Amino acid sequence: MRGSLKVFVRHCLATAVFSALALNAQAKALPGAPAPFDKGNVQIALVGYLFSGDFTEAYLRGVEKQTEALGATLRVFDARQQAASQREMIDQAIDLGVDGIIVQLGLAETLKGPIDRAIAKGIKVVAFDVDLNTPQVTQVEQDHHALARLALDQAVKDNGTRFDAGYVYISGFTPMERRDEIWSQVKAANPGIIEKARFGTLNPPIANSVADQASAVLRANPGISVIFAPFDEFAKGAKIAVDEAGLGKKVKIYSADISTADIQIMKEPDSAWAATAAVNPQVAGAISVRSLAMLIAGENPGHKVLVPPTLITRQQLLDLDVKNVRDLAQKLPAFGDTANVARTSWIPAAD
């Protein structure tokens, strides 16, 4: 089942952008749960804008596992970074008669129409990391302000208040814009921090595309000693460029998000990737499903559900001999403590 999901996410063809993958062949009743989960036949749709990268793959695993624990059917729609496709896929989910929809990322201005139509049909909606500004929608998001603050406080601690920086950024997305607010505040409070270059792209493969940009930036700005890359695919790209330029001991990278692959990259000898602030992406996926399940059952998870981040430094990973995300959650308990967010007694824990 998990393999089928990866095949769908990675190889979904443009001619099949409106197809959905049912991960559970048949929904199951959940004894002791409120309606409609006590009878089964609950259908949940995940309509994603961006499934490329380790963070989003782990988020998908969290959605899959928690949906399976609830005995519900999960249908996954991959818009492949096409706003029009994501909008139309929400309409397709509505036509399928799903009980709830999770909207993952996307452009808020293109989503309002289909989300309003879903709500009018009585379909419950949770939005992950995209602010739909709709009272009936529960917003599940990483605490992006806290996340950026943790990473940047570490950058200042390591490098002082005077350095030239490269900044990897894409506008139009709630996570990036909220992290950018903190970057602006840090620069204003520390005039010695100079943003020498701003760049970024979501062109796949994201890390390689960002690496090409970062290489040009480093050549044009040899004084850069810090790169703030508040998305792990951005950080991977920056590290590729730093390594190719032989600057691993001169340039330090501070980022957001974490995955098993990120951990291995951060632990490499002389790695420039010094720190990241992150939530457990699999837990974030499970929280999205739990919030939606509560809405479907007539309960109130709250209008905004924040998933708090944890600072993770390269030195911590080395000192604790962290090997993967599961290992990180065990050895750095704060990273796994968000498991109780949007929790109610009748929702089974996901494995």
Same domain for 56 and 112, yes or no, is yes
Residues 93 and 153 in one domain: no
Distance CA 138, CA 78 (A): 21
The angle formed by the CA atoms of residues 108, 285 and 240, to the nearest 5 degrees, is: 80
Residue 242 and residue 253 in contact, taking contact as beta carbons nearer than 8 Å? yes
Nearest-5° Cα angle at 256, 77 to 321? 110
CA 98 – CA 22 distance, rounded (Å) = 12
For helices 144-159 and 174-189, angle between their N-to-C axes, nearest 10 degrees: 40
Domain of 265, in residue numbers? 144-278
Please indicate, yes or no, if residue 330 is contained in any of the structural domains: no
Looking at the domain assignment, is residue 181 inside a domain? Answer: yes
**Contact predicate 251/313, CB 8 Å:** no
pLDDT at 172: 86
Position 316 in a domain? no
**Residue 83, in any domain of the structure:** yes
Residue 312 located in a structural domain: no
Residue type present at position 209: S
Residue pair 90/130 in contact (Cβ under 8 Å)? The answer is no
Domain CATH number, residue 160: 3.40.50.2300
Q: Tell me if 187 is assigned to some domain.
A: yes
The pLDDT, as a whole number, for residue 22 is 43
Measured CA distances, 235 to 49, 230, 291, 333 (Å): 20, 7, 30, 24
Residue at a domain's end among 223, 258, 278? 278
Asked whether residue 237 is domain-assigned, the answer is: yes
Asked if 76 and 163 sit in the same domain, the reply is no
What's the pTM? 0.78
**Domain match, 167 and 91 both:** no
Q: Where is the domain boundary, 235, 259, 278?
A: 278
Residues 50 and 153 in one domain: no
Same domain for 261 and 166: yes
Considering the domain boundaries, does residue 21 fall inside one?
A: no
Amino acid (one-letter) located at 208: N
**Looking at the 3D structure of the chain, how many domains does it have?**
2
Query: CA 8, CA 334: separation in Å to the nearest integer?
Result: 33
HSE, CB side, 13 Å, CA atoms: give it for residue 82.
14
Location of structure tokens 């999960």: 74
* Same-domain pairing of 138 and 148: no
Helix (H, G, I), strand (E, B) or coil at 113: helix
**DSSP H or E stretch at residue 148:** helix 144-159
- Based on the fold, state whether residues 177 and 272 are members of the same structural domain: yes
Give pLDDT, residue 225.
98
What single DSSP character describes residue 67?
Answer: H
Do 250 and 303 sit in the same domain of this protein?
Answer: no
Q: What is the pLDDT along the chain (351 residues), one digit of tens a residue?
A: 334 333 333 333 333 333 344 444 456 889 889 999 999 889 999 999 988 777 788 899 999 999 999 999 999 999 998 999 999 999 999 999 999 999 999 999 999 999 999 999 999 999 998 989 899 999 998 899 999 999 999 999 999 999 999 999 999 888 899 999 999 999 999 999 999 999 999 998 999 999 999 999 999 999 999 999 999 999 999 999 999 999 999 999 999 999 899 999 999 999 999 999 999 888 899 999 999 999 999 999 999 998 889 999 999 999 999 999 889 988 998 886 555 789 899 999 886
Backbone angles phi, psi at 124, to 5 degrees: -80, 145
Which two tokens mark 307?
Answer: 């998933």
Shared domain check, 298 and 244: no
Q: Is 187 helix (H, G, I), strand (E, B) or coil?
A: helix
- Whether 173 and 115 map to the same domain: the answer is no
3-class DSSP state for residue 156? Answer: helix
Listed residue (259, 274, 268) closest to 335, CA to CA:
259
Please tell me the predicted confidence (pLDDT) of residue 27.
66
> 262 and 291, same structural domain?
no
